[in-house]
Amino acid sequence: MGTVALGTSGTSAADVIAVARGNARIELTDEARAALAASREIVDALAAKPDPVYGVSTGFGALASRHIGPDLRAQLQRNIVRSHAAGMGPRVEREVVRALMFLRLKTVCSGHTGVRPEVAQTMADVLNAGVTPVVHEYGSLGCSGDLAPLSHCALTLMGEGDAEGPDGALKPAGELLAAHGITPVELREKEGLALLNGTDGMLGMLIMALADLETLYKSADVTAALTLEALLGTEKVLAPELHAIRPHPGQAASAANMLAVLAGSGLTGHHQDDAPRVQDAYSVRCAPQVAGAGRDTMAHARTVAERELAAAVDNPVVLPDGRVESNGNFHGAPVAYVLDFLSIAAADLGSIAERRTDRLLDKNRSHGLPPFLADDAGVDSGLMIAQYTQAALVSEMKRLAVPASADSIPSSAMQEDHVSMGWSAARKLRTAVDNLTRIVAIELYAATRAVELREGLTPAPATQAVIEAIREAGVAGPGPDRFLAPDLAAADAFVRSGALLAAVEPVTGALA
């Protein structure tokens, strides 16, 4: 399980994954506790003065002009949480909620929010207990923070609303806190606002998507290589000297991966045999260019994520010189743009994979393979409808590639008149990543069957390792028609779990 220590200088993507997916425990460092106490002293001093300070002694958003007296400030902070916990729709996945809470705690520990140390400790205690607030799909515009999602998390800290226990059972949050010996927080000046005002949900989903896409892009290089091999294509287009003259690093890495998979193949280089062809089709020949561009997009997105992980996103913020200043750092545009960009890249990777699959199934373009890779074409339909499923997934990927961040709907009586829609960009990227996994799995299913149908030719050692591993995983090889959905589900699990890379990398070495 491990332990993650939170200080004042942000956190890492690996720590986010460890908490969100690995249930790592969280400890607050002495540095963080000291910074929390110091910034709280500043807020308390400002709260004692008669001058209104936004977030401390005023209303919020379009209601910021009203000065709130000391007797109503605790109610003000409770009210902002309750009123903003207005999400609707399906529940968000547990890992997303844990990432959301952990990243908000990361900013709280920076010492720029004015939150008391005991509130931060309660956030850590809730996460460590495995208590997960109920957060709903809709409610964030990606500006002024992921307001509704974070509000539902803050509601749990107050012992209100519903949450999921470590056993997965849904119960009132107050009961779950009591069962784990956690005292609900009584919010004071600025604390309710500080718990709501961040880009934490979209950032958490970006970090997890990048982790998943890193595995998927390597997996797609493997399946592209297997398809090239099954089509008797040429590996000469993968030569490093060709990619060096167009020096995109992602392209070079993808080509190197494919070349490593194809090393020692007895199938490649037969494109001049019975039906000579000068070049392979774009979907085969340009695989490194497309996958490489996606890899470079991921590199840019990773840079944005690293900057956000080092950031303290709140409004207002407590500065080291004692000022509490309003700002616009909660705007989600930097994260929203790369979330949308990744959806575009993922859609294109899915599209080129589907085109390769279709080529494997078409007797007019597969260079000697049976129609639809069927055992007895006509009696058997082979993988015809597997490609339909893949095409349906690709079609949805294209719809998901439409940018959310290009939209903006004003809110809060035109005070918040431009928003990022970053949460929506993140939600559709999660669906895109899920679909891309299935698309790659279908290409893998088709390519392994096609290679096995090339009788008399010896595949590359890496390809043979993949075929043996996927057959051991319960995915059937060539033969008469059978109930196909279980095979496709098993292929999906094979890719999703990382088993494909685990099969190939002992032969090829670690893929880039």
Dist. CA 490–CA 496, nearest whole Å: 10
Residues near 184 by beta carbon (within 8 Å), at least 6 away in sequence: 122, 157, 158, 159, 160, 174, 177
φ and ψ at residue 404, rounded to 5 degrees:
-80, -35
Instruction: Name the CA dihedral angle for 76, 82, 85, 88, rounded to a multiple of 10 degrees.
Output: -140
Half-sphere exposure of 220 (CA within 13 A, CB side): 38
The one-letter amino acid code at 285 reads R
Tokens, residue 166: 């470590």
Task: Report in angstroms the alpha-carbon separations of 510 from 213, 241, 502.
Answer: 16, 21, 9
Q: How many other β-carbons are positioned within 10 Å of the β-carbon of residue 328?
A: 10
Antiparallel, parallel or unpaired: β 132-133 and 136-138: unpaired
Antiparallel, parallel or unpaired: β 88-91 and 132-133: unpaired
3-state secondary structure (DSSP) of residue 377 = strand
Q: What is the DSSP letter of 112?
A: -
What b-and-e string marks burial along 356-367, b requiring 16 or more CB atoms within 10 Å of the CB?
bbbbbbeeeebb
Dist. CA 35–CA 111, nearest whole Å: 5
- How far does the chain reach from its first CA to its final CA, in angstroms? 27
Q: What is the DSSP letter of 27?
A: E
Dist. CA 431–CA 10, nearest whole Å: 28
Q: Does residue 334 have a cis bond before it (omega within 30 degrees)?
A: no
Dist. CA 189–CA 55, nearest whole Å: 7
Sheet holding 132-133, edge to edge: 132-133, 162-164, 170-172
Q: How many other β-carbons are positioned within 10 Å of the β-carbon of residue 129?
A: 18
Tokens, residue 81: 């949480």
Task: Report in angstroms the alpha-carbon separations of 365 from 71, 230, 373.
Answer: 78, 12, 12
Dist. CA 95–CA 394, nearest whole Å: 26
Enumerate the active-site residues. Answer: 54
